[in-house]
Structure formats: structure tokens, C-alpha cells
Amino acid sequence: MLDQYIGVVITFALGAVIVLGMVSGSMIFGARSTSRRAVKDEVFECGNPSSGPARGRFSVHFYLVAILFIVFDVEVVFMYPWAIVFRQLGVPGLIEMLTFVAILGFGLAYVWRRGALAWD
């Protein structure tokens, strides 16, 4: 009965060995800096020097676009299983997917018309 889990146990064990090897290797062979400078301690992200406080406010529009992206991205993921079994579903499956895509299209058109995707 436990034979079916041996692959999972081996995978987790191998993952743990790799993680421990990388962490200990970086502790042993990693460069250590004894001198601290203000330039080295400055926050640096994405090639841009930091400007302003870390607790800056984002526009609500940013979050709206992010949520819309996630919604439409998740909806498109539903098309992959349909594409796998497309031939078995036949014409009724095609009609259902066309209905699904039409609903997505209407939703996108509505969001676009409301100006939610306009980045000013």
C-alpha cells in the first residue's frame, strides 16, 4: 500500500537535499562583506534608485487593472481543457465555447467602454 507513495517521498527527499546543499554552499562559499557603506545598504530595485517613502500610495486604477487581468487570464485557462477534448465534444462543445468566448468578449467590451483599461 505504501509503495505508491515512494515516488513522492523520494521527490521530497531529493528537494530537501538540494535546498540544504544550496543553502550550506552559499554559507560556505559565499562572499562576505565586512565593510558597510551607505551606497551598499541603499535599497535598489528594478534598476531605479529609491524615491520617496516605502509606504507610497498606489492608484485604485492600478488594482482594478490587475484584478481584470487576473479574471480574464483565469477565464482563458478554461480554454485549454476544451482544446484537449475538442474532437470528442463535437459541434455542441464548439457552440458552448463560442458562447463562452462571446460572454468574455462582451465583458471585455463593457470594461473597455467604461474606461477601466485607459491608462492616463
pLDDT digits (tens, 9 = 90+) for 51-102: 767 677 777 888 888 898 998 888 888 888 888 998 999 999 999 999 999 9
Q: Domain spanning 2-113 has what CATH number? A: 1.20.58.1610
Can you give the pTM of this predicted structure? 0.50
Give the integer Cα–Cα distance in Å for 16 and 8: 12
State the residue for C-alpha cell 509503495: 3
- Residues 65, 117: contact at Cβ < 8 Å? yes
Binned at pLDDT 50, 70 and 90, residue 43 comes out as: low
What pLDDT is recorded for position 47?
A: 67
Domain ranges of the chain: 2-113
